[in-house]
Structure 1
Amino acid sequence: MTDGPGHATYVDRALDLFADFGDREALVGGGRRITYTEAAALVRAMAAALTRHGVRPGSAVLVTVANAVEGPLLQLALHLIGCRTMWVAPVTARREVDEFLRRARPDALVYDARDPASLGPELTAALPGVPVCCLGPGGAGPDLTAATDPAGSVALPAAVRAPESFLQTSGTTGTPKLVHHTESFYAQILTLAADFRAAGFPLLRHLSHSPMWLASGQITTLFNLFTGGVLFLRDDWDPVAFVATVQRERINSTFVTPPMLYELLDHPALVGADFSAMFMFNVGAGPAAPARLRQAIARFGPVLRIVYGLSEAVVITALPGLIDDPEHPQRLRSCGRPYGDVRIEIRDDDGTVLPPGRDGEVWVHTRLSFAGYHGQPELTAQTLVDGWVRTRDIGHLDDDGFLYLVDRAHDMIVTHRRNWAIFCRPIEDALAGHPQVRAAAVIGVPDETVGEVPYAYVVTAPDATVTEAELIDLVTAELNEMWAPAGVEFVDRLPVNRSVKVDKRALRAQYAARGAAAVGT
């Protein structure tokens, strides 16, 4: 336990677990292999170093770190002090950074100085006078990975605050939101891990591509550490490296998105590869095609586990031991049943609970839900209602309690192998900023490689000379490559509905009809 008169946190309990796990391996990544004994020492040393450099209980610490092996230990160190961690994704669009800083109001900054694409230098410049620490040498602050604390304890101030985290997400307009998770969220992860250990499941050797700035990355990382398993961290997705790691390290647990799964299934590296150690092959963050799931079941066996969750309610449903059941073929489209203490209701627009088989909005009640959106009380009140989370997803339950999602209520594009969410409005605003553009509308269209990509319809001035390539370059410069439209179609006008709003349903139908016509030629 941590010395001193401060409030004992979930981290103190975690460090006791680490002491019990001893010299068992805990973390592997970036060329490092860290035992639980070493992990506990580094958590305490990082906490001491952060305290020496001005970080205090209650400090709001902005963290921009991808999937570094020290990232989970940094989170534990900051929470040991009693900080509020605020994680910003390294892929955050450039125009969102200022809004994020305005909303977060950080008291300190930690970034990975070893990452050449890090936002750290930009954020350092935008936060003059704010204490800065780094993972790795050569940054604007001291290297926390080299921290040592010979005494083996941290002298904390008496008024230690309960730790909490704010994790970045986005709303329908693309405006950054900070999803607030309190210490009770992390204490619940400890409880789930204890239940897992008590059930006698094998120790996990989990290969993770989910960084800590994602809510799914937080629960995946900490759950695996709290069960005493080995967490293998990779920042990049590469099927060849994935297969090699699974075989070399006898990986028995992992998580992939549908595009990652598809790429893996289609890659020659999978031919003859040994996946016999696999115990739990999680698939989530987007819908997976039943045909591809059947291929995965045939290749890996009944170890696939479909999961569904949000930043606001991290684990909602799970469908373990997925099989191609001829008696229930529709279940390959299901997200599974409620996980743990989760309760699910399907409600109509008036809040009335709907019977099985009827589509409506998915409402969720769970102890793993968020506490609100930082600095956005009205949005919090709209989303968190009497302890229930409105997911804004549309779906239904069947008679056996399986959940089926049929649509997303938000105008969101899920893209990239890692299933990152991007939104139409920032792209439309960037396009409309060109002096020759009169109007723009963006939709998500299917893509075999990354799931979905943006596609733009643009109305230009009569004498416009702007080209498709120029507009794509404009979006790339203002946001980044992930947000750039896969195509730009110039039209005379945008369709509108009876409310005189752009009718994106008509645009999607227009795009689909064009594709169908192309197939028929």
Structure 2
Amino acid sequence: MTYVDLVLQKLSTDGEREALIGGDTRLTRSQARDLLFRLADGLTQRGVRPGDGVAAFVGNTPEAVLLTVAVHLLGCRLVYVPPEPGPSELAALVKRAEVAAVVVDPAFSDRLDGWHLQDLPGDPVERTPAPGHTTVSYTGGTTGLPKLAVHRSHSTARLEALRHMPPTNMLCNTLITHGSGAGVSMAALVVGSKLVLGPSTFDADTFVRLARDEQITTTMFVPPMMYEVLDHPDCPGPQFLGIGVGGSPLAPRRLRQAIEKWGPVVFQAYGMTEALGIATMPASDVDFARPETLRTVGKPNPGIEVEARDGDVWVRGPMVMEGYWGEPPLSETADGWFNTGDMGYFDDNGYLYLNDRSKDVIVTGRTSDNVYSRLLDDFLVTLPGIRQAAAVGRPDEALGEVVHLFLVPEDGHDVDFDSIRDSVVGELGELYQPSGITIVPQLPLTQVGKVDKRRLRSQFR
């Protein structure tokens, strides 16, 4: 049995109960079940077969959520395509994923060719769910080249533990093509909750309205989203049963503010695309008299092994990816262990603390997306007058981090910040927009001759 069986069970009961809401669309359980089967039939009529890869380049809509389930229903390989990359990176991602089909939200069709989601539904042919499926998620790594984390159907087995939980009114704030959004949407369908989809681009005003109008009781944020809601003049009061937060470093002061505002329902969730659920820190474990409890990401979740080896955090278990698409599985290369790229340690009580990332990914933006510094570094030195470049993350209370550039110009060349910023945005997109520049005569190097980005970042502490 997979989570798809559990979803169909819920959608087959209490058919008039609302299941999915997004924009102007409101679907009951019966309507959602019917559309799920019609989407699966539309894929089948177009030649998609079990095991084929189907790329989903979609936004936060009820139809898109059901599409992802339909791909798994057929036993296919679902490839999540996030909207952040530029056109060339999107094309490279889809090519690397080796898919048989691409389904696009019509709003995104100017950036990637594929079957339009609105044209996909076929006949309401009922099907027995396939015994297994695969999910492939974009992660990018530190080089900017597309990397695709592979999870098999056993990685969603944790959802079975939710099947007997009472339904809630759940609001999904993050994109369903990202780990947290996908997890929230699948959990809601398994539990039988009313799933309300926030817009593909987060908006605090919309959150406040939906929380009020839809009587939302559970939700999940990445930190910048939560900060915007906490700062909103009409921030909701203690109406929530559970609020998860994760995806990037969380300011202890803000966590305390959230708990004081909403009560002991706020919990941290530590995970990543490659390892979906590593640790959890419930608000009930936070003690304001011990400030260190506001900095820990909690204890490892059941079923996952977590070790701190010489400061590096390693994980192993069913929630950890099989490996990257096109590369040997972890079982062959590391006995199933995965180096998260985070640096941290355990205290004497078994709580995990993260104190740095060994990777140079910059986590920024209102949805805590990844900026691949190597990609930015390589582009910057193609600009006139730039001899060397290094992009790092500068701490920012609102966004977690912002992009800061250290540049070594050619002799006699004056650096024009506006020109560089416009060039970066034009080539790599708004997410890569630098917020500041520091001109230096040379970049610091490690003993092995690599740019020492840790020293550069230390200038902001």
Residues 393/509 of structure 1: CA separation in 2 closer, same or farther (3 Å cut): closer
Q: Any gaps of 5 or more consecutive residues in structure 2? A: none
1:83 maps to what in 2? 76
CA–CA distance in 2 between the matches of 1:330 and 1:489?
A: 33
One-letter amino acid of the structure 1 residue matched with residue 433 of structure 2? A
TM-score when scaled to structure 2? Answer: 0.93
2:262 maps to what in 1? 300
Q: Bigger CA drift: 368-377 or 315-324?
A: 315-324
Deviations 1:447-489 (A, max 9, x none): 2321211111222222435522111111111110110211223
CA–CA distance in 2 between the matches of 1:325 and 1:204?
A: 28
Instruction: Check if 1:153 corresponds to 2:126.
Output: yes
1:326-475 matched pairs, under 5 angstroms? 326=288, 328-348=290-310, 360-377=311-328, 380-381=329-330, 385-464=334-413, 467-475=416-424
Deviations 1:39-78 (A, max 9, x none): 1111111111111122222221111112122122101111
2:211 maps to what in 1? 246
CA–CA distance in 2 between the matches of 1:316 and 1:65?
A: 27
* Cα contact 2:166–2:191 (8 A) shared by 1: no
* Cα contact 1:94–1:480 (8 A) shared by 2: no
1:352 maps to what in 2? none
2:192 maps to what in 1? 228
CA–CA distance in 2 between the matches of 1:506 and 1:190?
A: 42
Deviations 1:352-381 (A, max 9, x none): xxxxxxxx222222222211100122xx54
CA–CA distance in 1 between the matches of 2:285 and 2:153?
A: 37
1:273-284 matched pairs, under 5 angstroms? 273-276=236-239, 278-284=240-246
CA–CA distance in 2 between the matches of 1:240 and 1:123?
A: 30
* Cα contact 1:345–1:364 (8 A) shared by 2: yes
CA–CA distance in 1 between the matches of 2:159 and 2:61?
A: 22
CA–CA distance in 2 between the matches of 1:284 and 1:10?
A: 23
SS in 2 for 1:487: strand
* Cα contact 2:363–2:371 (8 A) shared by 1: yes
1:316 maps to what in 2? 278
One-letter amino acid of the structure 1 residue matched with residue 386 of structure 2? V
CA–CA distance in 1 between the matches of 2:323 and 2:148?
A: 8
CA–CA distance in 1 between the matches of 2:337 and 2:455?
A: 33
Residues 66/212 of structure 1: CA separation in 2 closer, same or farther (3 Å cut): same
CA–CA distance in 2 between the matches of 1:409 and 1:69?
A: 38
CA–CA distance in 2 between the matches of 1:317 and 1:20?
A: 33
Instruction: Check if 1:203 corresponds to 2:167.
Output: yes
One-letter amino acid of the structure 2 residue matched with residue 67 of structure 1? N
| 1:189 Cα deviation from its structure 2 partner | 3.7
CA–CA distance in 1 between the matches of 2:317 and 2:52?
A: 28
Q: Any gaps of 5 or more consecutive residues in structure 1? A: 1-7, 125-131, 137-142, 349-359, 513-521
CA–CA distance in 1 between the matches of 2:373 and 2:36?
A: 40
* Cα contact 1:256–1:284 (8 A) shared by 2: yes
CA–CA distance in 1 between the matches of 2:350 and 2:424?
A: 43
SS in 1 for 2:292: helix
One-letter amino acid of the structure 1 residue matched with residue 280 of structure 2? A
1:357 maps to what in 2? none
| 1:282 Cα deviation from its structure 2 partner | 0.9
| 1:400 Cα deviation from its structure 2 partner | 2.0
SS in 1 for 2:319: coil
* Cα contact 2:104–2:116 (8 A) shared by 1: yes
TM-score when scaled to structure 1? Answer: 0.83
1:353 maps to what in 2? none
One-letter amino acid of the structure 2 residue matched with residue 211 of structure 1? L
CA–CA distance in 1 between the matches of 2:167 and 2:361?
A: 37
2:287 maps to what in 1? 325
| 1:240 Cα deviation from its structure 2 partner | 2.0
One-letter amino acid of the structure 2 residue matched with residue 266 of structure 1? D
Residues 490/89 of structure 1: CA separation in 2 closer, same or farther (3 Å cut): same
SS in 1 for 2:112: helix
Of the candidates 134, 143, 149, which is equivalent to residue 116 of structure 2? 134
Q: Bigger CA drift: 338-347 or 436-445?
A: 338-347
* Cα contact 1:314–1:369 (8 A) shared by 2: yes
Residues 21/300 of structure 1: CA separation in 2 closer, same or farther (3 Å cut): same
1:355 maps to what in 2? none
One-letter amino acid of the structure 1 residue matched with residue 185 of structure 2? T
| 1:105 Cα deviation from its structure 2 partner | 2.1
| 1:154 Cα deviation from its structure 2 partner | 4.8
CA–CA distance in 2 between the matches of 1:205 and 1:66?
A: 20
SS in 1 for 2:435: coil
SS in 2 for 1:47: helix
2:147 maps to what in 1? 177
* Cα contact 2:344–2:352 (8 A) shared by 1: yes
Residues 434/111 of structure 1: CA separation in 2 closer, same or farther (3 Å cut): same
Q: CA RMSD in A?
A: 2.3
SS in 2 for 1:237: coil
Aligned length: 460
Query: Which is higher, the Rg of structure 1 or of structure 2?
Result: 1
Percent identity reads 38
* Cα contact 1:57–1:81 (8 A) shared by 2: yes
Residues 54/455 of structure 1: CA separation in 2 closer, same or farther (3 Å cut): same
| 1:178 Cα deviation from its structure 2 partner | 0.6
One-letter amino acid of the structure 2 residue matched with residue 135 of structure 1? L
